[in-house]
């Protein structure tokens, strides 16, 4: 009778313990799995989004000089009664208007406003002993002392230099007994509407230039058509000021101003 012998396997054990077939199966499974992963990764790389875009912000800045000035001065008169106060104020107004016309300001540019009246009081303090008390008590009461009347004179003109000069010199009327206070002038630019259109166009051009420069540096795409564009805030600041606000600035304190416009734009990317 033939006796079958157990020959050693690769590891020196019995043949039925030979692990080579299991290793081949595991290797085959690994190859299939890695191939699936590689295929999925390649698909992710190869598939592009339906629409590729780039978003940029463009800006434009321009120095402007105000072409309209508005300035006002406040006249004030005091008198024991209302009628006398108004009469005195009327005399002060005539002197102020005469001064302005002598400065070469047209009568139509001088606009006296309505007159206001206010009764004045002074506080009188007394110290006396009240009935039923031995301790002196200090009391105070308001005593009428007359009336104060005020009037504002407003000047609006395109002759900015002339009005500036008058606003500085009108306080010389104090030497004539005129009670007058000169307020700082306010400066405006009357062609702001058409300038905003020009500035927005310049900001849009800057946005496209920035997007184009980014793509040239990064590579891989060409700048396509504009998809959307919206206007950001517009800041009108005193010259050389960097002040900003979420609502936008509209300065009236400076003769020379900087107007800064912002545009947010989105462009398509082409191959």
What CATH number is given to the structural domain containing 149?
A: 3.30.70.2970
Looking at residues 164-182, what average pLDDT do you find? 95
Q: Looking at the predicted structure, is the pLDDT value of residue 215 above 80?
A: yes
Give dist(CA 219, CA 161) in Å, integer: 54
Residue 56, SS3 per DSSP:
strand
- Please indicate, yes or no, whether residues 168 and 202 belong to a single structural domain of this protein: no
Q: Looking at the predicted structure, is the pLDDT value of residue 214 above 70?
A: yes
CB neighbour class for 124 (10 Å; exposed up to 12, middle 13-18, buried from 19): exposed
- Please indicate, yes or no, whether residues 216 and 253 belong to a single structural domain of this protein: yes
- Domain assignment present for residue 100? The answer is yes
- Please indicate, yes or no, whether residues 78 and 166 belong to a single structural domain of this protein: yes
- Please indicate, yes or no, whether residues 57 and 164 belong to a single structural domain of this protein: no
Q: Looking at the predicted structure, is the pLDDT value of residue 44 above 50?
A: no
- Please indicate, yes or no, whether residues 61 and 195 belong to a single structural domain of this protein: yes
Residue range(s) defining the domain that contains residue 180: 69-122+141-188
Token digits of residue 83:
């009628």
Looking at residues 115-138, what average pLDDT do you find? 86
Closest by alpha carbon to 252, among 172, 152, 185? 185
Token digits of residue 30:
């690994």
- Please indicate, yes or no, whether residues 184 and 200 belong to a single structural domain of this protein: no
- Please indicate, yes or no, whether residues 57 and 79 belong to a single structural domain of this protein: no
Total number of domains in the chain? 2
In the prediction, which pLDDT does 218 show? 83
Residue scoring higher pLDDT (232 or 95): 95
Q: Which of 188, 213, 243 is the endpoint of a domain? A: 188
- Please indicate, yes or no, whether residues 198 and 173 belong to a single structural domain of this protein: no
- Domain assignment present for residue 152? The answer is yes
- Domain assignment present for residue 251? The answer is yes
- Please indicate, yes or no, whether residues 118 and 99 belong to a single structural domain of this protein: yes
Beta strands in the chain (DSSP E): 53-65, 68-79, 110-129, 136-157, 180-182, 186-188, 222-238, 256-270
- Domain assignment present for residue 7? The answer is no
- Please indicate, yes or no, whether residues 225 and 173 belong to a single structural domain of this protein: no
Q: If pLDDT is split at 50, 70 and 90, which confidence band does 267 have?
A: very high
Q: Looking at the predicted structure, is the pLDDT value of residue 171 above 70?
A: yes
Q: What CATH number should be reported for the domain holding residue 254?
A: 3.30.110.170
Q: If pLDDT is split at 50, 70 and 90, which confidence band does 34 have?
A: low
């Amino acid at each position: 009778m033939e006796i079958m012998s157990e020959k050693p396997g690769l590891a020196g054990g019995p043949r039925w313990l030979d692990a080579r077939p299991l290793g081949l199966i595991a290797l085959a499974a690994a190859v299939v799995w890695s191939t699936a992963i590689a295929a999925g990764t390649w698909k992710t790389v190869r598939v592009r989004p339906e629409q590729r875009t780039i978003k940029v912000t463009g800006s434009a800045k321009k120095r402007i000089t105000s072409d309209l000035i508005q300035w006002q001065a406040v006249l004030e008169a005091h008198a024991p009664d209302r009628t006398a106060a108004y009469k005195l104020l009327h005399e002060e107004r005539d002197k102020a208007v005469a001064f302005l016309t002598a400065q070469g300001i047209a009568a139509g540019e001088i606009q006296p406003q309505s007159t206001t009246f206010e009764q004045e009081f002074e506080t009188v303090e007394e110290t006396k002993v009240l009935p039923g008390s031995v301790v002196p008590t200090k009391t105070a009461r308001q005593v009428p002392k007359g009336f104060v009347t005020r009037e504002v004179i407003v000047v609006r003109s395109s002759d900015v230099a002339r009005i500036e000069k008058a606003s500085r010199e009108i306080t010389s009327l104090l030497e004539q007994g005129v009670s007058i206070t000169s307020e700082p002038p306010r400066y405006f630019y009357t062609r702001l509407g058409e300038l905003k259109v020009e500035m927005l166009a310049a900001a849009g051009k800057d946005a496209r230039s920035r997007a184009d420069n980014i793509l040239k540096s990064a590579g891989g795409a060409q700048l396509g058509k504009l998809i959307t564009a919206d206007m950001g805030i517009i800041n009108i600041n005193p010259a050389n000021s960097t002040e900003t606000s979420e609502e936008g600035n509209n300065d009236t304190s400076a003769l020379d101003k900087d107007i800064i416009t912002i545009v947010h734009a989105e462009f398509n990317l082409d191959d």
